[in-house]
Amino acid sequence: MTAKTIDSTSEGNQQNSTGPKNNRLFVKVSVVVALLSIIAVIALQYIGYYTRKESFGDEQKLVLSPNEMTPEPMSKEGFIPVHVDFTNKHEEDMDLYWANGNGTEVKMDTIAPNNSKQFNSYVGHVWVWRVSSTQEYVRSSIIDSTQATNSYSRYESDFHETYAKEHGFDWINVYPRGPVNKWIPDPVNIGYETKRLVSPAKYTKEGGLPDQSSTTVLNMKTMSTSPKIFLIEEFLSEDECDHIIQEAIDLGDMKRSGVKTTGEHIPSRTSTNTWIAADKSEIVENVFKRGFSVMKLPFNKDSWKNHSESLQVLLYDVSQEYQPHDDFFKPSEYPTYRTVQQGNNRYATLFLYLSDVEGGGETVFPRFNGEYSEDACTDENGFRVKPKKGNAALFFSMLPDGNLDQNALHGGCPVITGKKWAANFWFWDESAAEI
């Protein structure tokens, strides 16, 4: 902790030049300030830092730790210092890393089995454990003085083993993590259809922008039960599709698509994209409101980012594709992303088809019904959604219990003829604001 010292010498000289009365006032103020400073120093000596213990396989308890190596304060919460005692309860050496502000892991020490190391940290810091011999990721820890740390423990190992036995697949989200608190519809069975009354109605050039209290009925059809995929017919009007495309063109910054928040360009993703926020135009905001209505979420101009990201508008030319990928952020692959490590993630994708495609360009799901298809774009039994202007495919990347759905793996098949315009409309449980 650092103490800020205020030098009042020059201010005192100014006060002295005004006369005896102001001089006496300055002396009184100086005495009060000095007394308050002494009291503050004494209080800090008695209060000390916030303390906590971070351990593997042991119950947590508060401990007072000596000062050692201190990473830079990267906390958004106001640089609250915390003493942390890291204990390795595994039977092999573990490397401990601190994640700096840009997500780079900085190695702090190697901790032998049943040994502890003590560090100064700050609320909001992310620490990463890796196996020393293999650098295999084990878990991340977020320093938060308001709640208990999610310590790796024997109980946690038992949970993963039991979950895998009961469900036939692994738990891959952070643990512990509660169920999704957003609407996830029951698919019932393939081919099941339901009508949804949503608001507002669609914009058309002829009818203009609809009243915000207007409604429209959408048909939602179950295409798959695992993963949960629904086709929403005519979610957008043709004029809304054209408007979004033109807004993307007018921005003039269509760039090679990257991968999630890393922005890395990879051969498996060859489209270009740009981002359009809800407040880009009244027509775009109308589309956002209807999307929120479909998801049974409240739309607010000031806080819509708590539930979704901006529209990611995509353009695929001939031969361009996006090979199978997940929309969620797998915690083991994003160990330094605080939002993800807190259990927040993308839980649903409303994929908007902004144009027809002459040939190819289908959205493909290689793990349809849990059976993997190596080349689902050409496999006769592969599951694909054909792009049709105005339609939307709604699918879920999280299961109701809070786990991430690996069967939601999907991709964009190569465009054979024509162009493909589309948009990702990603929804979050709980918040997308920090991503």
pLDDT in tens, 331-367: 999 988 888 988 999 999 999 999 999 999 999 999 9
Q: Cβ(108)–Cβ(69) under 8 Å?
A: yes
CA-CA distance, 425 to 412, in Å (whole number)?
Answer: 15
Residue 22 has pLDDT above 60, yes or no: no
Q: Which fold has domain 181-429?
A: Jelly Rolls (2.60.120)
Lowest mean pLDDT across 55-64, 134-143, 394-403, 421-430: 55-64
pLDDT of residue 74 exceeding 90, the answer is no
Q: Are the CB atoms for 359 and 416 separated by under 8 Å?
A: yes
Alpha helices in 295-363 (DSSP H): 338-341
Q: Is a pLDDT exceeding 90 seen at residue 403?
A: yes
* CA–CA distance, 37 with 28 (Å, rounded to integer): 14
Confidence (pLDDT) at 26 = 40
Domain limits, the chain: 81-152, 181-429
The DSSP output letter for 211 is P
Q: What is the pLDDT of residue 269?
A: 59
Q: Which three-class secondary structure string do you get for 85-97?
A: EEECCCCCCEEEE
Q: What is the pLDDT of residues 171-200, one digit of tens each?
A: 999 988 899 999 999 999 999 999 999 999
Provide DSSP, 39-102: HHHHHHHHH--EEEEEESSS-----------------SS---EEEEEEE--SSS-EEEEEE-TT
Fold match, 81-152 / 181-429: no
Q: Which pLDDT score, from 0 to 100, does residue 218 have?
A: 99
Fold type of domain 81-152: Immunoglobulin-like (2.60.40)
The arithmetic mean of pLDDT across residues 382-391, rounded, is: 97
- Distances 384 to 353, 363, 420 between C-alpha atoms, Å: 14, 5, 15
Contacts 24+ apart (CB under 8 A), 261-269: 261/329, 261/334, 261/337, 261/435, 268/321, 268/322, 268/323, 268/325, 269/321, 269/322, 269/323, 269/325
Place of tokens 């039994």: 381
What are the pLDDT digits (tens) for 100-129? 878 799 999 999 988 888 888 888 888 898
Is residue 426 scored above 80 in pLDDT? yes
**What is the SS3 assignment for 35?**
helix
Three-state SS at 196: strand
Predicted pLDDT of residue 100: 86
On whether the pTM is more than 0.85, the answer is no
Q: What's 305's DSSP letter? A: G
Average pLDDT of the residues in 75-97: 77
The single residue listed with the structure tokens 């502000």 is 101
Q: What is the pLDDT of residues 216-237, one digit of tens each?
A: 999 999 999 999 999 999 999 9
- CA–CA gap between residue 96 and residue 98 (Å, rounded): 7
pLDDT of 51 > 80? The answer is no
- The Cβ of residue 90 has, within 10 Å, a number of other Cβ atoms equal to 16
What digits encode the pLDDT tens for the residues 262-294? 455 455 557 899 999 999 999 999 999 999 999
Can you tell me the distance from the alpha carbon of 202 to that of 240, in angstroms, rounded to the nearest whole number?
A: 8
Mean pLDDT taken over the chain: 81
Helices of type H across 88-201? 154-167
